[in-house]
Chains A and B, each alone.
Chain A
Amino acid sequence: MEIRTTFRKKLKEIQDDVLVMGSMVEKAINQSIKALKERDITLANRIIESDKKVNMKRFEIEEKCIQLIATQQPMASDLRIILAVFNIISEVERIGDHAEGIAKIVLMIGDEPPLKPLIDIPRMADKTVDMLQRSLDAFVKHDSESAKKIPVEDDEVDGLYDQVFRELLTFMAEDPKTITRATRLIWVAHNLERSADRVTNICERVVYMVTGKMEEIGASKY
Chain B
Amino acid sequence: MKVDIDTGLLNNRVMANDIRLSTNQLNLYYGDFQALRNITLDIPERAITAIIGPSGCGKSTFLRVFNRMNDLITGVRIEGRVELDGIDIYDKEIDVVELRKRVGMVFQKPNPFPMSVFENVAYGPKRHGIKNRIELENIVERSLRQAALWDEVEDKLSQSALALSGGQQQRLCIARVLAVEPEVILMDEPCSALDPVATLRIEDLMRTLAENYTIVIVTHNMQQAARASDMAAFLMMEDDRAGTLVEYGPTAEIFTNPKDKRTEDYITGRFG
A interface list, Cβ under 8 A from B = 1, 3-7, 66-67, 70-73
Contact = CB atoms under 8 A, between A and B. Distances in A.
Contacts of B255: 67, 70-71
Contacts of B204: 3-6
Contacts of A5: 204, 207
B200 A4 contact: yes
B209 interface: no
A48 B227 CA distance: 39
Rank and list the top 5 A-B pairs by shortest CB-CB distance, nearest first: A71-B226, A70-B255, A3-B200, A70-B256, A67-B252
Contacts of A71: 226-227, 251-252, 255
B201 A3 contact: yes
Contacts, number: 32
A70 B227 contact: no
A70 B226 contact: yes
A67 B226 CA distance: 9
A4 B200 CA distance: 6
A84 B227 CA distance: 21
B223 A73 contact: yes
Contacts of B223: 73
A7 B227 contact: yes
B73 interface: no
Q: Secondary structure of the B side of the interface?
A: helix
Given A5-B207, A71-B227, A72-B226, A66 B256 contact: yes
Interface residues on B, range: 10 to 19
A7 B203 CA distance: 11
Interface in B189-225: 197, 200-201, 203-204, 207, 223
A3 B197 contact: yes
Nearest to B151: A1
B256 A73 contact: no
Given A5-B204, A73-B227, 12 more contacts: A3-B197, A3-B200, A4-B203, A4-B204, A5-B207, A6-B204, A6-B207, A7-B227, A70-B226, A70-B256, A71-B252, A72-B227
B78 to A, nearest CB: 33
B152 to A, nearest CB: 9
Nearest to B232: A71
B143 to A, nearest CB: 18
B168 to A, nearest CB: 13
Contacts of B251: 71
A3 to B, nearest CB: 5
A72 B197 CA distance: 14
A5 B202 CA distance: 12
A34 B249 CA distance: 48
Interface string B161-199: 000000000000000000000000000000000000100
Contacts of A70: 226, 252, 255-256
A1 B171 CA distance: 15
Nearest to A2: B204
A182 B40 CA distance: 70
Contacts of A3: 197, 200-201, 204
